[in-house]
Amino acid sequence: MSYKDTYHSLKVILTDKTFFIFNPKIGSRFMESLFDKPGVEFQFKNGNFSEVTSQRNGEITATYLKSVMAEWELIVTSKSKKDIVILYRDPLKRFITALTQIYFLEIYHLYQDILFVLIFQVWGLLYLK
């Protein structure tokens, strides 16, 4: 499979004035709760949407989905009058966060018994003689 044949995921939320585009794991829950709208997750190939890959609790109506697709076509053809907001996270910061998380999880798993005892000693809930 060549690079141009690979699929990528993208989430979008459409409001009255704005079209939001973001990666599925970058602020999805925040955006959905902020606008109280489901994020429509698409797989796309070579710049074109190929299929809807998931939806929040089945809340995506056919009308909303058609609106998103119609607005996407307007964006691609530079005819959209809505503001476009692309939400992304700096890849270097994502990498650093991943390394930090892995490091702390390893420390936790190595010393979880000692940490458990220390936490309860600090809270005064465990007395060792």
**What is the distance between the alpha carbons of residues 111 and 44, in angstroms, rounded to a whole number?**
44
Q: How many domains does the chain have?
A: 2
Note whether 34 and 55 are same-domain residues. Answer: yes
Note whether 74 and 59 are same-domain residues. Answer: yes
Would you say residue 85 has pLDDT above 70? yes
pTM above 0.85, yes or no: no
Rg (Cα) of the chain, in Å, rounded?
22
Domain carrying residue 111: 90-129
Note whether 82 and 68 are same-domain residues. Answer: yes
Note whether 60 and 97 are same-domain residues. Answer: no
| CB hemisphere CA count around 27 (13 angstroms) | 15
Question: What is the predicted pLDDT for the residue at 2?
Answer: 45
12 pairs with which residues across the strands?
21, 40
How many CB atoms are closer than 10 A to CB 56?
14
- Span 19-29, average pLDDT: 81
pLDDT digits (tens, 9 = 90+) for 32-80: 888 888 788 877 676 666 666 556 556 677 788 888 888 888 988 899 9
Band of residue 104 on the pLDDT scale cut at 50, 70, 90: confident
Would you say residue 120 has pLDDT above 50? yes
Note whether 57 and 27 are same-domain residues. Answer: yes
Note whether 71 and 100 are same-domain residues. Answer: no
Note whether 98 and 74 are same-domain residues. Answer: no
Q: What is the mean pLDDT of the chain?
A: 77
Would you say residue 1 has pLDDT above 50? no
